[in-house]
Amino acid sequence: MVSSISFHPFISHFPPALFVAGLLLLFLGKKRNDPKLNSAASFNLSLGLLAAVVASFSGMMSVDISLRTTVDVEGHQGYSFLFTILYGFAVGYSYTNSFSKTAQGFYIVGLVTMCICLFTGYQLVF
For the chain, give every domain's residue range.
8-125
Answer with the residue of higher pLDDT: 18 or 61. 18
**Cα four-point dihedral sign 20, 42, 83, 4:** negative
Helix (H/G/I), strand (E/B), else coil: 68: coil
- Give the whole-angstrom CA distance, residue 111 versus residue 96: 20
Over residues 47-74, the pLDDT tens digits come to 999 999 999 988 888 776 667 777 778 8
Q: Share the mean pLDDT of the chain.
A: 90
Instruction: For helices 101-125 and 70-96, give the axis angle rounded to 10 degrees.
Output: 150
pLDDT band at 1 (very low <50, low <70, confident <90, very high): very low
- What secondary structure letter does DSSP report for 4? S
Q: What is the mean pLDDT of residues 77-98?
A: 95
